[in-house]
Chain A
Amino acid sequence: MTTVIKHQKPSAFYDEFFRKGPGQKTTHYCPGCGHGVAHKLVAEAIDNLGIQDRTVFCSPVGCSVFGYYYFDTGNVQCSHGRAAAAATGVCRTLDEDRIVISYQGDGDLAGIGMGAIMHAANRGENLTVFFINNAIYGMTGGQMAPTTLLGQKTTTSPRGRTAENEGYPIHMSEVISQLEAPVFVERVTLGDAKGVMKAKRVVQKALQNQVEKRGFSFVEILSPCPIGWKMNSMDARHWITEKLEKIFPVGNLRDDTKEPAPVSIPRMKLTDEELIDLFKSGEVESVKAGSLLNEQLVKVAGFGGQGVMSASALLAKCAVAENRHATWLPSYGPEMRGGTANASVVISNEAIGAPVVETPNVLIAMNAPSLDLFEESVQPKGMVIVNSSLIERKVKRDDVNVMYVPATDIAIELGSVMTATIVALAVYAAASGAVSVETMQKMIPSSIKRKNLVDINLKAVEAGLKYYKEHYQK
């Protein structure tokens, strides 16, 4: 006779947990906590299915925030409540054979993250969610959670939860199972050994579903929080079977996995070319530029429809293409046309601290209200470009350099009033040298959203340059 190991620490766990220092082999969980049990069931299922090297474990905010110290898998620690959304991103980024686990508590999943989990479930992501329901916020000290029972006393419901004051406990498994997309929803319990053994099978089943690419599986695990509940480990387990399971009945709520597994879940994916096209700005090879004399604090202002936003964004993109630092900060109302709009652009040789421009050294005023609003804020010796088509008055200050450009008239002549700000921008570029006109011409094709307007914008640059040469070049 000899003995063989029948049950031991699953190899999906790290051998040592480095959080508290080398050699540490225990979790950070309180004695009797359900998380350790749930972790062990998940880790063993990973072992049994042979998926450790292709599993990504998405941990939440809450007591189980340190999942990455325990699971020797891929790990993502997600923003509070967003584990199901982050897991969606992981699912869709990696190839189809990845296994993604979203492991979340009740405050995380059913409180702050209610929106994220509902939509992940509704999309039927091929994802496995383990929802640890202990009816309380454990990590922060036992506050009332969405799943807290009526009458249950917590630090924030000291007289016991009432439906009138705090509403009812949310039955997540029931809610999720009402959606069309999920394929597997079951509630299990860690309240007794029998429940744990059943949970072990369900946890593995939920992962098996993902291996078979069946879609969204959701397992709610009723789990003890002895410290948060102010009980010893065994009383906490009895409380689960006597109280929690009465409100949250254990059992399967959805199992569509008896059907043959689908071959694959088709998803529309953008090709690399389409993606590059989406984020095309800056694809122009960088242009060699001389050093910028002054940091440029540019305010471009007008009304919607004059091209204030697209032109100012183009300016920032040109500066970046010339290897400078640049920021673009738009400010506008909800209107697509009409309404006032202005943008702040900072161009610098050095990293930029704040993108806000309060005292510009360049003002491009495209309409009269903009000149009225910003004229006084321009720095002495600053540059002011006035759209003289729409602004009849002259600039009152005599300590700034002013250029009057009939930008709107020129733009109308070219065939699109929306290119007016491009005309003014070309004047600014030619006069200041902050960005070169050539760079503007190179950047316009990728920067202008409507491709049929590329030519007219290129003409607007030409026209602005011509106007500058004829009227202001010394």
Chain B
Amino acid sequence: MTKNHVKIENSECKGCGVCVDACPKGCLTIGKEINEQGYAYVKFDSENCTACGMCFYVCPEPGAITVYKAEKK
């Protein structure tokens, strides 16, 4: 992917939804699928991500969210 985006580790998400609320651009939603821990995990699907990192900082799990920023070569 070459655009700003967020990668969710599905198996590490506990579906608390705090990132969904924190995202200023509404890029995140709680999905319908259930992960192996039994939580409906968060999905990223948007063109509007600014890689601001709000979702990363409010997320209580250390490694569930990684934020990527587009950069010119």
Q: Name A's B-contacting residues (CB within 8 A).
A: 1-10, 13, 25-27, 29-37, 39-41, 43, 70, 190, 192-193, 196-197, 200, 226, 232-234, 237
Contact = CB atoms under 8 A, between A and B. Distances in A.
A190 B73 CA distance: 37
A2 B51 CA distance: 13
Contact of A2 (B62, B67, B70): B70
A40 B58 CA distance: 9
B63 A13 contact: yes
Given A1-B2, A3-B5, A27 B60 contact: yes
Most buried by A among B5, B57, B70: B57
Interface residues of B, number: 38
26 contacts: A1-B71, A3-B2, A3-B3, A3-B69, A5-B69, A6-B51, A6-B69, A7-B51, A7-B65, A7-B67, A8-B56, A8-B66, A25-B9, A26-B37, A27-B60, A27-B61, A27-B62, A31-B15, A31-B60, A36-B62, A37-B59, A40-B57, A190-B58, A193-B22, A232-B17, A234-B17
A26 to B, nearest CB: 5
Tell me what chain A mostly uses at the interface: helix, strand, loop, or mixed: mixed
Most buried by A among B4, B12, B56, B58: B58
Nearest to B24: A193
Nearest to A44: B57
Most buried by B among A2, A30, A200: A2
A444 to B, nearest CB: 60
Contacts of B21: 234, 237
A436 B58 CA distance: 71
A197 B57 CA distance: 7
Given A1-B72, A3-B68, A200 B12 contact: no
B54 interface: yes
Contacts of A10: 62
Closest 6 CB pairs of A and B: A36-B60, A32-B16, A31-B14, A9-B63, A7-B67, A7-B56
Contacts of B48: none
Most buried by B among A31, A33, A34: A31
Given A1-B71, A7-B67, 5 more contacts: A6-B68, A27-B61, A36-B59, A40-B60, A234-B18
Contacts of B61: 26-27, 36
Contacts of A237: 18, 21
A31 B57 CA distance: 15
Given A35-B60, A234-B18, A7 B66 contact: yes
B36 to A, nearest CB: 10
A31 B39 CA distance: 9
A61 to B, nearest CB: 20
